[in-house]
Amino acid sequence: MSVAVDVVDDYLEKVGTADEFGAIDLVLGLLGEGVPAESLLLDVIAPAQRRVGELWAAGTWSVAREHGATAISERAVAAIATAVRPRPTRSRITVACTDGEYHALPTRLLAEVLRLRGWHVDFLGANVPGPHLITHLHQTGPDAVAIGCALPTRLPRAHATLTACQAVGIPVLAGGSGFGFDGRFAAKLGADGWAPTADAAADLLEQGRLPSFPTPGATLAHLADEEYTLFTKRRGEILAGVMAELPRRFPPMRDYTQAQFDHTADDLAHIADFLSAALYIDDTRLFTDFVTWTCDLLHARGVPSRSVALALRLLHDELHDFPRARHLLAEGTLAADGA
Residue 200 binds other proteins, judged by CB under 8 A: no
Residues 274 to 333 in contact with other proteins, rule: CB under 8 A: none
Tell me the site size for other proteins, rule CB under 8 A. Answer: 47
**What are the Cα distances from residue 137, in Å, to 129, 134, 141, 174?**
13, 5, 5, 16
189 or 311, CB closer to other proteins?
311
CB contact set of 267 (below 8 Å; sequence gap of 6+): 294, 307, 308, 311
Provide the H-helix boundaries in the chain.
5-16, 20-32, 37-39, 46-57, 63-83, 105-116, 130-140, 155-167, 184-188, 198-206, 227-249, 258-281, 284-300, 306-318, 323-338
Window of 4-12, 28-36, 58-66, 318-326 that interacts with other proteins by CB under 8 A: 58-66
Query: Which of 237, 248, 249, 323 is the binder for other proteins (CB under 8 A)?
Result: 237
Query: Which of 51, 108, 115, 157 is the binder for other proteins (CB under 8 A)?
Result: 157
Nearest distance in Å: CB 238, other proteins: 9
Helix or strand or coil: residue 59? coil
36 or 88, CB closer to other proteins?
88
Query: Which of 19, 25, 47, 70 is the binder for other proteins (CB under 8 A)?
Result: 70
Query: Which of 10, 13, 20, 245 is the binder for other proteins (CB under 8 A)?
Result: 20
Give the pairing of strands 193-195 and 144-148.
unpaired
Residue 206 binds other proteins, judged by CB under 8 A: no
State how far the Cα of 334 lies from the Cα of 316, in Å rounded to an integer.
13
Nearest distance in Å: CB 146, other proteins: 17
For the beta sheet containing 120-123, the strands, ordered from the edge strand earlier in sequence to the opposite edge, are: 120-123, 92-97, 144-148, 172-175, 193-195
Window of 35-43, 44-52, 230-238, 318-326 that interacts with other proteins by CB under 8 A: 230-238
Q: Report how far Cα 1 is from the mean position of its chain's Cα atoms.
A: 31
State how far the Cα of 252 lies from the Cα of 264, in Å rounded to an integer.
12
Residue 55 binds other proteins, judged by CB under 8 A: no
Nearest distance in Å: CB 239, other proteins: 5
Residues 116 to 155 in contact with other proteins, rule: CB under 8 A: 126-127, 129-132, 135, 137-141
Residues 240 to 279 in contact with other proteins, rule: CB under 8 A: 240, 243, 259, 262, 265-266, 268-269, 272
Task: Note every long-range contact of 5-10, with CB atoms under 8 Å and residues 24 or more positions apart, other chains counting.
Answer: 7/44, 8/43, 8/44, 8/47, 8/48, 8/51
Nearest distance in Å: CB 92, other proteins: 9
**What are the Cα distances from residue 266, in Å, to 39, 73, 172, 254?**
38, 28, 32, 17
Q: Please, what is the Cα angle at 291 between 300 and 313, to 5 degrees?
A: 115
Nearest distance in Å: CB 135, other proteins: 5
Residue 71 binds other proteins, judged by CB under 8 A: yes
Residues that bind other proteins (CB under 8 A): 18, 20, 63-65, 67-68, 70-72, 74, 91, 99-100, 102, 126-127, 129-132, 135, 137-141, 157, 167-170, 212-213, 235-237, 239-240, 243, 259, 262, 265-266, 268-269, 272
